[in-house]
Amino acid sequence: MKSTLINPNIATIQTDTRFADQVYLLPVTPEYVESVVEKERPDGIMLAYGGQTALNCGVKLEEAGILQKYGIKVLGTQIPGIQKTEDRQLFKDSMGQCGVPVLKSKTVRNFDDAKKTAEELGYPVIIRVAYTLGGRGGGVAYNEIELHEIVERGLKASIVGQVLIEEYIGHWKQIEYEVMQDYDGNNIIVCNMENVLAMKVHTGDNIVVAPSQTLDNHEYHMLRSAALRATKHVGIVGECNIQYALEPNSDRYVAIEINPRLSRSSALASKATGYPLAYMSAKIGLGYNLSELVNRITKSTTACFEPSLDYIVCKHPRWDFSKFELVNRKLGPTMKSVGEVMAVGRTFEESFQKSIRMLDIGNDGLVLNRANGKSFDDEELENKLSHPDDKVLYYVAAALKAGFSVERINNLSAIDPWFIEKIKNIVLLEEKITKEDLGKSLLFEAKKLGFSDKQIARAKNKNPDDIRKLRKEYGIVPSVKQIDTLAAEWPAVTNYLYLTYGGNSHDIVINPEEKGIVVLGAGPYRIGSSVEFDWGTVNMVWGLQENGEKNISVVNCNPETVSTDYDICTRLYFEELTQERILDITEFENPKGVITCVGGQTANNLTLGLSKHGINIMGTSAQDVDRAEDRSKFSAELDKLHIQQPRWQAFSNLTEAKNFAQEVGFPVIVRPSYVLSGAAMKVVWSQDELKTYVKEATDVSPDHPVVISKFMLNSLEVDVDGISNGQEVIIGAIVEHIDSAGVHSGDAMMCIPPWRLNNKTIETITEYTTKIATTFNVKGPFNLQFLVHDNHVYVIELNIRASRSMPFVSKLVKINLISLASKAILGIPLPKITKNKWQKIQNYGIKVPQFSFMQLDGADIALGVEMQSTGEAACFGSSFYDALSKGLTSVGYNLPQTGAALVTVGGSQNKEKLLQSIATLKNLGFKIFATEHTAEFFEEKIGEIEVVHKISEPQRKPNISDLLYERKIDFIINIPSTSTLEKYVGMLDDEYQIRRKSLELGVPVLTTIELADSFVKTLDWLKNNKPTIDPIEPYDPID
């Protein structure tokens, strides 16, 4: 069977041609999908694997008659089935027909009706306001007085004068079931899950355990039967997820929704059980019956069974709120997390504390962290418990310490008392280890409750290594256990493993004759570290295997990755990426070495510590990695090579810092020298700002100085990705950022080949790259970042590891850099590769960031030095604009051929720069709206511009706000005054309002000159051209 994949996500391993016969890096929109269909003429289409995007696209293809036109069968759940779950009314009707209760609610237009409805439903009720975005204006009413206030406010806020009154179930348990069903109607439950933070918090932001812990047999099977009934009734084929709310004080329940597709929950369920839902679902879509499929773990039993677990899984979301200014950290019905981890253990406490460490946010568990011991007053705690944010469970611990009863915490937070009791066990043990002597049984108890050596060391004022030594003297070591889908009832042939202190024997033995290699993955997805490192990890495993290595172990803890598929490597450890755990694993495995260069910064940070504990680091040595990571050592090396850097210095007092800034001139970039993930970099424009910042930074980490470097305005940023074996250097490509320096490299649009660099600069960059890679004895992948200012080349940083842009470079240039890196690491000679192959590529490749501002209530969308994008797409084309048009469409920009644009530009220099673009827009027939000053400038040069007034002056018409609501604006060019960095001088609230409002209404906003310029040129190009539709080509074979 031949398969074709459409996905513009360049960085994912999915879009390696190894996984499908044809891969199209194209937007998943009905138009582009039709073009591919036209070309490939497939017999069937699968819609359930590409999230909501693919599902929506499929429904549109059906509605437009395209599936019928080309005679394409939907494989899996048919369109009417999808509609029965996606359309709220159809869903309610369907559930009614199969006897599954749903939530009662009613739409009302006045307070009297609201009151009547609330009385019928019973208080508390939740009021949802129709047609305002982000759920603003709604709320929970516990009595008539509150109802009155919220309903009146809501009716005013709603454009259509309606509010929805619904029974409030925030304190109900949130339970999910994953269901599989085949065309014959055989169906099974693969997994159920329970959300610790109840219904209050979106499941994506919830801490989730599998299996459910507080349900009894009756409740479990009541919901199970309902799930089977519901999926049979709507006609699911393949996999689906059903979400319930269950009353905590009775067995009353309602179905909230059904997802007729693979989801984040199904990825989690697959990893939590070892049952590969997507794989099985695809087979079922092709027509296999559940009983014909074989359990992938036992390879002998049937796939038509319900996995039994003999461990508890804990999923913890990862948030990156600190990257966003003005963002609201409260958790609620909108998902805000950017990634997640999954921990496996044999007590809740163990799983939960492991999950916290896996997040890589600098915490070693729930208690005994670096920043410990802050106390709160009761009122503050009550507030924090009833309005959860990302730290809610830490507040549960704090409340317990402050003497709150379990019942009181349960009343405030809606967290089931069972979970609070478990947290209490952790809190009590903290007290015990702090006070008592660390005897064998106490230490063992602490380990069983998931305490790390670091936490214990902190309690005892010791070094973690002392604890490790003591522990081993006592013989307290973790057991290696298998995840086998059948709780040990049948032998497992795959090695899907975790470590636990809840056991006294290992499930497997390692044959000392078969020493392996351990590859460290990248941990949770987060801003700045995402699918690209999964691509790197998987390609490294394959590369090692292709070069004759038989035993490869992977350590990772991210359930959303391919690197945590147990059939990718020989042994998969679903485990923490912490020094303690990696040492546990290496002591068990006794491997040839550990590879830390493909797991992003998380793995890279472990290099030095592991090396100091005698672990063989394969690839670039720990000392060389350290020389690159340590800014002073790095600078010294560059000086020796006579290679320039932007001027920088480290400071621990303000006077020196001020003097330096004065000397090099503002703006400067400041950052703490010791950066825990997420700690802020900032561009500083004045002495006052510098003073505030230095104070903040030294408050955060008093022992670590602040680094200040010159910020060069009007310069270009360039990334180089390459491979070296210490002697030879292979450059993957030189990648130019389209946005000017100052926009974080992860947020910038990137282009290969570079289009503004001259040959001389390219030569200099090539020369520097070779020199630096050999000087640092790089053995494996590396990434160099340069700044080009007035034709001078400066080095910003060297990362001796796989980088974010490597999949992009590899796929466009058709050199699999990680495959090459595996050779370099194993000491196998590098193959001969055409010199500067990247320059001989005919295609253009453009990478475009994907943002998720919509979900982050309050966040500003203007870009800066902190990375904010949560993903990316890249498309190839025969010209710059061919590639760019597809790239922009992929990340959600609508490219209109006619319509209206709103232009607000600060500063005359910016206006000047945009003049050509605005003129082009006018020529294309766009109507141009602009604010007063902007309009004045452009009108003078290019004629008629319509003046509109600021949101902050609502009485003045025409007003931007009205135009936005009336959908009279197709896109907005909003360049913050004087430079893109203006927001750091003092953000203008009005501009923020425009950006935020348009975002919520789905109107694209272009906030940099380069983006605006490219966007307009793309529109111009599209007038006379059509984007090309071509599959990508596989990597060139290397011998």
Partner 1 sequence: MVGYPETLTDPSYSGQILTLTYPLIGNYGVPDPSIKDHDGISKFFESEKIQVRGLVVHELSHTASHWNLSMTLDEWLYNEKIPGISGIDTRALTKKLRDTGVMMAALVVSDSEIDSNDIKKQLASAPHYNSEKFMNTVSTKQDEIFGTGEKTVVVIDTGVKNAILRNIINLGYKVVKLPWNTSFKKIMSYNPQGVIISNGPGDPQNCPDTVETAKKLIENNIPTLGICLGAQIIGLAGNTKTYKLKYGHRGQNKPCVNLDNDQIYVTSQNHGYGINPDSLKNSEFNLWFRNADDKTVEGIKHKTKNCIAVQFHPEASPGPYDCKFVFEELGHLMGEEKAA
Q: Give residues in contact with partner 1 (CB under 8 A).
A: 184-186, 188-189, 211-217, 219-221, 224-225, 228, 248-250, 290-291, 300-302, 304-312, 346-348, 416-418, 421, 479, 481, 487-491, 502-505, 507
Q: Least separation, in Å, of the C-beta of 302 and partner 1? A: 4
Of 415 and 1005, the one with the shorter C-beta distance to partner 1 is: 415
Q: Least separation, in Å, of the C-beta of 343 and partner 1? A: 14
Q: Least separation, in Å, of the C-beta of 211 and partner 1? A: 5
Q: Least separation, in Å, of the C-beta of 482 and partner 1? A: 9
Reduced to 3 states (helix: H, G, I; strand: E, B; else coil), residue 910 is helix
Q: Which positions ≥6 away from 496 have C-beta within 8 Å?
A: 274, 297, 482, 483, 484, 566, 572, 574
Of 297 and 787, the one with the shorter C-beta distance to partner 1 is: 297
CA end-to-end span of the chain: 28
What is the C-alpha separation between 97 and 230, in angstroms, rounded?
A: 9
Count Cβ atoms below 10 Å from residue 546 Cβ, excluding itself.
Answer: 12
Alpha-helical runs (H) found in 286-405: 348-358, 378-386, 392-401
Reduced to 3 states (helix: H, G, I; strand: E, B; else coil), residue 202 is coil
Q: Which positions ≥6 away from 78 have C-beta within 8 Å?
A: 235, 237
Q: Which of 597, 554, 542, 548 is nearest to 724 (CA)?
A: 597
Of 413 and 868, the one with the shorter C-beta distance to partner 1 is: 413
Q: Least separation, in Å, of the C-beta of 214 and partner 1? A: 6
Reduced to 3 states (helix: H, G, I; strand: E, B; else coil), residue 336 is coil
253, 218 contact by CB (below 8 A):
no
Count Cβ atoms below 10 Å from residue 641 Cβ, excluding itself.
Answer: 12
Of 489 and 936, the one with the shorter C-beta distance to partner 1 is: 489
Of 291 and 834, the one with the shorter C-beta distance to partner 1 is: 291
What is the C-alpha separation between 519 and 563, in angstroms, rounded?
A: 10
Q: Least separation, in Å, of the C-beta of 143 and partner 1? A: 24
- What is the bridge-based pairing of β-strands 517-520 and 593-595? parallel
Q: Least separation, in Å, of the C-beta of 297 and partner 1? A: 13
Of 212 and 810, the one with the shorter C-beta distance to partner 1 is: 212
What is the C-alpha separation between 216 and 214, in angstroms, rounded?
A: 7
What is the C-alpha separation between 834 and 831, in angstroms, rounded?
A: 10
* Phi, psi torsion values for 750, nearest 5 degrees: -130, 155
Q: Least separation, in Å, of the C-beta of 376 and partner 1? A: 25
* Phi, psi torsion values for 37, nearest 5 degrees: -60, -45
Q: Least separation, in Å, of the C-beta of 367 and partner 1? A: 19
In the β-sheet with 552-556, what is the strand arrangement from edge to edge? 479-482, 495-500, 571-574, 552-556, 517-520, 593-595
Of 311 and 542, the one with the shorter C-beta distance to partner 1 is: 311
449, 347 contact by CB (below 8 A):
yes
Cis geometry, peptide bond prior to residue 80 (ω within 30 degrees of 0): no
Of 129 and 196, the one with the shorter C-beta distance to partner 1 is: 196
Q: Least separation, in Å, of the C-beta of 219 and partner 1? A: 8
* Phi, psi torsion values for 243, nearest 5 degrees: -110, 135
Of 97 and 727, the one with the shorter C-beta distance to partner 1 is: 97
Q: What are the DSSP E strand ranges found in 223-337?
A: 238-246, 253-259, 312-318
Q: Which of 343, 154, 126, 347 is nearest to 245 (CA)?
A: 126
What is the amino acid identity at position 197? L
Of 181 and 799, the one with the shorter C-beta distance to partner 1 is: 181
Identify the DSSP state of 276. -
- What is the bridge-based pairing of β-strands 73-74 and 44-45? parallel
Q: Least separation, in Å, of the C-beta of 95 and partner 1? A: 18
CA separation, residue 136 to residues 132, 164, 169, 458, 642 (Å):
6, 13, 19, 44, 57
Q: Least separation, in Å, of the C-beta of 449 and partner 1? A: 11
Of 188 and 999, the one with the shorter C-beta distance to partner 1 is: 188
Of 501 and 782, the one with the shorter C-beta distance to partner 1 is: 501
Q: Least separation, in Å, of the C-beta of 416 and partner 1? A: 6
983, 860 contact by CB (below 8 A):
yes
Of 228 and 883, the one with the shorter C-beta distance to partner 1 is: 228
What is the C-alpha separation between 213 and 199, in angstroms, rounded?
A: 16
Residue with tokens 């995402």: 530
Of 225 and 659, the one with the shorter C-beta distance to partner 1 is: 225
Of 415 and 818, the one with the shorter C-beta distance to partner 1 is: 415
3-state helix, strand, coil in the chain (%, to 5): 40, 20, 40
Cis geometry, peptide bond prior to residue 124 (ω within 30 degrees of 0): yes
Q: Least separation, in Å, of the C-beta of 421 and partner 1? A: 5
Q: Least separation, in Å, of the C-beta of 483 and partner 1? A: 11
Q: Least separation, in Å, of the C-beta of 380 and partner 1? A: 26
Of 135 and 248, the one with the shorter C-beta distance to partner 1 is: 248
Question: Taking the alpha carbons of 501, 507, 512, 518 in that order, is the dihedral positive or negative?
Answer: negative
Q: Least separation, in Å, of the C-beta of 797 and partner 1? A: 46
3-state secondary structure 751-779: EECCCCCCHHHHHHHHHHHHHHHHHCCCE
Of 190 and 873, the one with the shorter C-beta distance to partner 1 is: 190
- What is the bridge-based pairing of β-strands 716-725 and 779-789? antiparallel
Of 96 and 491, the one with the shorter C-beta distance to partner 1 is: 491
Q: Least separation, in Å, of the C-beta of 504 and partner 1? A: 5
